Copies of this chain bind each other. A is one copy, B any other.
Amino acid sequence: MRNIRLLIEYDGSRYDGWQRLGKSSGSSTIQGRIEAVASRMVGAPVEIIGSGRTDAGVHAYGQVANFHAETDLSCEAIRDYFNRYLPEDIGIREVYEAKPRFHSRLNAVSKKYLYRIVTGNAPCVFDRRYVCRCPEELDTAAMERAAAYLVGRHDFKAFSSVKRSKKSTVRELYRVDIFREHGELRLMFCGNGFLYHMVRIMSGTLMEVGMGKRKPEEIPQILAGRDRTRAGVTAPPQGLFLYEVSYEPDAL
């Protein structure tokens, strides 16, 4: 059995997220669509292992996944097969031969998520499905001060929609970069892992800081309270992109 690693981009607009639920065909999920094409390609059922889930409506530039299969196809032929049969809103950027024990989720050491915001009233015709609109201008200096409190190793329970669970809600956020690019405000989050809705709640909270509705100095108390209701809104999914997943070179 070969182990094949995929670098995937997708427009999540019309999907119920990455993850197929149970044994259903999952045609409304990105995982389900890729599995259907992979199974047809190799003539046997294939399970695609993603680096992590993305929610309904969230996009990816750089999702990573792997699958085990017996096939004689070259990596290039696998890529071409996928891109011929996948819908146009899911694309396979690269295909690599992986080590037999490589696992997209378990071996991931860090991830980057990008949140794209367009402020003001200017139209945004061509990127309208890929940004969050914010009519007010945002105070990026205040947002940067707030983001600095989020960086580090913390219990991020207040910034997640995780229900009662015995699993740890401690994560390390390595950095948050806030920058203007192509007329947009972009937030790039890099960390060792993210809880359910964590990037969207951090983005929503930082936007509230940018609008002056909250002070940057509230962030430490919100973290300490571990109470979801004290953090900001969950920003909408269409501005969010899974941007990059990193692995130890040895794992690949």
Taking beta carbons and an 8 Å cutoff, which residues of A are in contact with B?
Answer: 9-11, 59, 79-80, 83, 88-93, 121-126, 128, 130
CB distance from A132 to the nearest CB of B (A): 13
CB-defined contacts of A79 to chain B, threshold 8 Å: 121
Q: Looking at the complex, which one of B80, B93, B123, B130 makes contact with A9 (CB distance below 8 Å)?
A: B123
CB-defined contacts of A80 to chain B, threshold 8 Å: 121
Q: Which residue of B lies closest to A94 (CB)?
A: B122
Q: Which residue of B lies closest to A122 (CB)?
A: B93
Q: How many copies does the complex hold?
A: 2
Which 3 residue pairs are nearest across A and B when measured between Cβ atoms? A91-B123, A91-B125, A88-B128
Contact B124 A91 (CB under 8 A): yes
Q: Which residue of B lies closest to A82 (CB)?
A: B123
Most buried by B among A9, A92, A125, A128: A125
- Beyond A79-B121, A121-B79, A123-B83, whether A89 also contacts B128 by CB under 8 A is yes
CB distance from A21 to the nearest CB of B (A): 23
Q: How far is the CA of A154 from the CA of B106 in the complex (A)?
A: 64
- 16 pairs from A and B in contact (CB 8 Å cutoff): A9-B123, A10-B125, A11-B125, A59-B126, A83-B121, A88-B125, A88-B128, A89-B125, A89-B128, A90-B123, A90-B125, A91-B122, A91-B123, A91-B124, A91-B125, A93-B123
CB distance from A185 to the nearest CB of B (A): 18
CB-defined contacts of A121 to chain B, threshold 8 Å: 79-80, 83
Most buried by B among A11, A126, A128: A126
Q: Which residue of B lies closest to A76 (CB)?
A: B121
Q: How far is the CA of A91 from the CA of B126 in the complex (A)?
A: 10
Q: How far is the CA of A126 from the CA of B125 in the complex (A)?
A: 13
Contact B125 A9 (CB under 8 A): yes
